[in-house]
Chains A and B, each alone.
Chain A
Amino acid sequence: MSVGAGASFRSGAVGQVAFRRIERGVLGAAGVAGLVLLWQAAASLSGVPRYFFPSPRDVAGAFTVLLEKGILPAYLADSAGRYLAGIGLGTAIGLALGLALGVSRRAASMFGPLLNFFYAIVEVAWIPIFVIWWGYGLRTILVALVYVVAFPVLFNTQAAVRATPRVLIDAVRALGASPRQVLGEVIFPAALPGIITGFRVGAGFAFRGLIFAEMIAAKNGIGYLILTSAANHATDRTIAGMIVVGTVWLVIDQLYLRPFERVTVERWGVLRHAEE
Chain B
Amino acid sequence: MAALPAEAGAGSVAASKITIRGLSIDYVSEDGRARHRALEDLSLEVRENEFLSVVGPSGCGKSTLIAAIAGFLRPRSGSLLLDGKPIGGPGADRGVVFQEYALLPWRTVLDNVTLGLRLRGMPRSERDRIGRQFLEMINLVEAADKYPHQLSGGMKQRVAVARTLANQPEVMLMDEPFAAVDAQSRMTLQEELVRIWSQSRLTVLFVTHSVEEAVFLGDRVAVLTPGPGRLKAMIDIDIPRRQRRWAELGNNLLFATLRQRVLDLVRGAGTPP
Contact = CB atoms under 8 A, between A and B. Distances in A.
A275 B160 CA distance: 13
A176 B91 contact: yes
Given A167-B102, A271-B105, A175 B149 contact: no
Contacts of A170: 67, 70, 72, 90, 96, 98, 102
Interface stretch (A117-125, A181-189, A209-217, A241-249): A181-189
Interface string A145-177: 000000000000000000001011011111111
A274 interface: yes
Contacts of B94: 174
Contact of B72 (A173, A270, A272): A173
Contacts of A272: 105
B105 A186 contact: no
A268 interface: yes
Interface stretch (B113-121, B127-135, B242-250): B113-121
B208 interface: no
A274 B115 contact: no
Given A185-B119, A268-B106, A271-B147, A174 B70 contact: yes
Contacts of B116: 175-176
Interface string A241-276: 000000000000000000000000000101110111
Contact of B90 (A174, A186, A274): A174
Contacts of B103: 171, 275
B177 interface: no
A270 B148 CA distance: 11
Contacts, number: 75
B115 A185 contact: yes
Contact of A174 (B95, B106, B147): B95
A274 B105 contact: yes
B268 to A, nearest CB: 31
B101 interface: yes
Q: How large is the interface on A (under 10, 10 to 19, 20 to 34, 35 or more residues)?
A: 20 to 34
Main secondary structure of the interface of B (DSSP, over half): loop
Nearest to B120: A176
A275 B101 contact: yes
B230 interface: no
A272 B164 CA distance: 21
B48 interface: no
Best-surrounded residue of A165, A168, A175 (most CB of chain B within 10 A): A175
B105 A176 contact: no
B115 A175 contact: yes
Contacts of B183: none
* Max chain B Cβ within 10 angstroms of own Cβ: one of A165, A173, A181, A185: A173
A175 B148 contact: no
Contacts of B70: 170, 174
Given A170-B72, A181-B119, A175 B102 contact: no
Contacts of A270: 149
B92 A175 contact: yes
Contacts of B101: 275
Interface in A33-89: none
B158 interface: no
Given A174-B91, A177-B119, 14 more contacts: A168-B102, A170-B67, A170-B70, A170-B96, A170-B98, A174-B173, A175-B92, A189-B106, A268-B106, A270-B149, A271-B148, A275-B101, A275-B148, A276-B100
14 contacts: A167-B100, A167-B102, A170-B90, A171-B103, A172-B104, A172-B115, A173-B72, A174-B70, A174-B96, A175-B92, A176-B116, A177-B119, A189-B104, A276-B100
Interface of B: 67, 70-72, 90-92, 94-96, 98, 100-106, 115-116, 119-120, 147-149, 163-164, 167, 173
